[in-house]
Structure 1
């Protein structure tokens, strides 16, 4: 516990707080737009995107939770709510009596197909239209590098 804290410099603090504000404002705005226009929450959208990105639209609960960085209880409660609305179903895993899959339904596919164009337009309007291609490449490089380090730490 005797380690010295590496406090942020004013420049680091400014950059960090700006990034956090961007993340919060952008996430909040996207979430409200999705909910208002498509009746799909940001969390629903995240789950549906993950499921449309995998073969057969099915993924094990634990893998889906890991991909979204959600805790087990949040995943369980949210999937139960989505299943209640007919967006996904839960299927037992035949190879593992304790495991289960989350599977997108036709209603779930229809919901994401309706929400995706709204989401893309909002991403363009709220973010992409305000950065240059060079800035976008730098942001992608930074994001990939930090995510890679975070993934290493999770292993």
Structure 2
């Protein structure tokens, strides 16, 4: 592959990522008051725990691909707003579990349809079925 083509691909990816992320974040925040970081944490907790169980901070950080320190700061902000709780792990008493609160569940449930609509509006709806299939194939190749 030529260097110019690789650079063009990189620049196209960056523009796409920045544009789509910013548009989705704007829509979610306007409609729900949640930042994308808030939404990412709530969605991960709802997905991983079904909202009924708790999950270790380390496991959540790994799932989100966030540094532990970043997640800890984010959880602190969300805990102050009543969206999540942190408890000592019942299994070994050393680590912390993250618990989705009732308010966190309601916030996620309100924001999820907005997020889905924004994804459709700003990404998937802009692509033909063939382009969408190619996009999925590329994404799975790069990040299996």
Q: Same fold (TM over 0.5)?
A: yes
Structure with more relative contact order (C-alpha pairs < 8 Å, separation 6 or more): 2
Residue 27 of structure 2 is matched in structure 1 by 33
> Is there any run of 5+ residues in structure 1 with no aligned partner, and where?
1-6, 149-155
Aligned residues between the structures:
142
* Residues 21, 57 of structure 1: alpha-carbon distance in 2 compared, 3 angstrom cutoff: farther
How big is the shift at 1:120?
Answer: 1.2
Query: TM-score of the superposition, structure 2-length normalised?
Result: 0.92
> Is there any run of 5+ residues in structure 2 with no aligned partner, and where?
none
Counterparts of 1:147 and 1:97, CA distance in 2: 35
- Quick one: which of 86, 90, 95 aligns to 1:90? 86
Q: Is 1:114 equivalent to 2:110 in the alignment?
A: yes
Query: TM-score of the superposition, structure 1-length normalised?
Result: 0.85
How big is the shift at 1:91?
Answer: 1.3
Q: What is the RMSD of the two structures over their aligned residues, measured on CA atoms?
A: 1.5
Residue 46 of structure 1 is matched in structure 2 by 40
Whichever of the two has the greater Rg, that structure is: 1
Counterparts of 1:62 and 1:142, CA distance in 2: 29
- Runs of 4+, deviation exceeding 3 Å: none
